[in-house]
Amino acid sequence: MADSLDKLMYSFVMEDVLKGLFIYVPPGYVACVYDLGRGVLRKVLTPGLHLKIPFWQKAKLFNTQTLEYSISKNFNPENVRGLGDSPIVAQSADGTRISIEGTILLRLDINQIPMIWQNIGEDFVMKIVRPTIQSRLRMIASRYTQADIASIRRDTVEIETKNELERIFFPRGIFVENVLLSEIGGGRDHS
């Protein structure tokens, strides 16, 4: 009985050690490592199999593919960590309440991911991305009439929004690939 218990304990310890020894990083992701002695390491682990010190180092995967930040009626606002938002209600230059829907394409800067994890944390969408997008879309919408945003000047509004978001996100390690407005309607109480 004691031998079988020893073997069982040995197998659990070996599995935990071996499992904690390797970091598998799939394509489209990178891993950052938190070391108990040195904090978040600057080196980013690219796709493949890597070694780490069990119990001393913790790895976190980050998606480096293009991320789709969808602003739509289908977004669940109770999912605070979700990548998206409900339609953003703003006031246009002519005083009309409008509701803005669309998609913003974002990507994390591989070289700045350790800084993002260290300074902002895993919930960077909730802390930085969502409030910035809401604020900047409202600010830019206030410069144009509803008719301009909905039709004639839509491309100008998209470019201006992209430039404004890049100004804020780029120093924080987030690239803005594109801003695509899909629907501009009469405002409702969403946000």
Amino acid, res. 100: I
- Say yes or no: 37 and 50 in one domain: yes
pLDDT in tens, 128-152: 999 999 999 999 999 988 888 877 7
- Say yes or no: 158 and 74 in one domain: yes
How far is Cα 98 from Cα 168, in angstroms, rounded to an integer?
Answer: 24
- Say yes or no: 129 and 74 in one domain: yes
- Say yes or no: 123 and 56 in one domain: no
pTM: 0.79
Long-range pairs, 141-144, Cβ under 8 A, ≥24: 141/90, 141/91, 141/92, 141/98, 141/100, 142/90, 142/91, 142/92, 142/93, 143/93, 144/92, 144/93
Pick from 19, 36, 63: which residue ends a domain?
A: 63
Pick from 43, 63, 83: which residue ends a domain?
A: 63
pLDDT in tens, 95-117: 999 999 999 999 999 999 999 99
Number of neighbouring beta carbons within 10 Å of residue 134: 18
Range of the domain at 94: 67-186
pLDDT in tens, 15-60: 455 567 889 999 999 999 999 999 999 999 999 999 998 889 999 9
